[in-house]
A and B are shown apart, each in its own frame.
Chain A
Amino acid sequence: QSALTQPASVSGSRGQSITISCAGTSSDVANYDLVSWYRQYPGEAPKLLIYEVNERPSGISTRFSGSKSGNSASLTISGLQAEDEALYYCCSYSGGSSWVFGGGTKVTVV
């Protein structure tokens, strides 16, 4: 089971929009609408931002949105803010009651 592929880093200016990609395979991302996204600050536990590809939990800003096309999922952060600087992980169900995370993307706000 290989990790999902994410870019190591993405940067953007305050107020801009950025998109983080998450490439999987026909065994995971393409086959199930069970992609979720997490934000992790240094020294903290991850926090759920998006589940079921594009659903936001209660309390999560509408600046975060998710999508999926084929083998790849994406997280878009609009109106980039300084507090968005963090690590972001995608995760997908991969069949057989198993799950797989991406490699993580460091977002920098310049």
Chain B
Amino acid sequence: QVQFVQSGAEVKKPGASVRVSCKASGYTFSHYAVHWVRQAPGQRLEWMGWINAGNGHTTFLHKFQGRITITRDTSATTAYMDLSSLTSEDTAVYYCARASIVGTTGFDYWGQGTLVTVSS
């Protein structure tokens, strides 16, 4: 069965960086995209960006340009999201989710979420 397992909770100081990993299993990793979505406490879902796990091409929401990096390791079937220059506004649960490369499937499988807390 398709499954995503994300890395554990993180506590970071303002200005620091964080890496969240997302280990995929149960399907051919390189045939799909991995998207990253975050949810601040009590707030809506916010789409952040995605990576084509086949060719490594990435797209990000404009507001994160310059601060976000999404990579993947196809041999480890794992995607990574790095976010730098953290502020308190980046405190959120970060999710990875799978979609078809052309996006027609919706986000059909999700990781369990990783809580990132930014606090001095």
* Interface residues in chain A, defined as those with a beta carbon under 8 Å from any beta carbon in chain B: 1, 3, 34, 36, 38, 40, 45-48, 50-52, 57, 89, 91, 93, 96-104
Instruction: Check if A51 sits within 8 Å of B104, measured CB to CB.
Output: yes
A93 to B59, CA, bound (A): 13
Quick check: A36 and B44 within 8 Å, CB to CB? no
A48 pairs with B108, CB closer than 8 A: yes
In the bound complex, what is the Cα–Cα distance between A96 and B62 (angstroms)? Answer: 11
A-B contact pairs, 8 of them (CB 8 A): A40-B45, A45-B95, A46-B95, A48-B107, A91-B45, A91-B47, A97-B50, A98-B61
Binds A, one of B13-21, B66-74, B80-88, B109-117: B109-117
- In-complex Cβ contact of A47 among B37, B45, B50, B110 (8 A): B110
Task: Please give the distance in Å from B102's CB to the nearest CB on chain A.
Answer: 9
Given A1-B61, A45-B111, A45-B112, verify A101-B106 contact (CB < 8 Å): no
Q: Size range of the interface on B?
A: 20 to 34
List residues of B whose CB falls within 8 A of some A CB.
Answer: 35, 37, 44-47, 50, 59, 61-62, 95, 97, 103-108, 110-113
Q: Which residues on A sit within 8 Å (CB–CB) of B105?
A: 51
Q: Would you call B106 and A50 a contact (CB within 8 A)?
A: yes
With contact pairs A3-B44, A102-B44 given, residues A97 and B59 touching in the complex (Cβ less than 8 Å): yes
Q: Contact between B47 and A51 (Cβ–Cβ < 8 Å)?
A: no
Q: For A52, give its contact among B47, B61, B104 (CB under 8 Å).
A: B104
A93–B106 CA distance with the chains assembled, in angstroms: 10
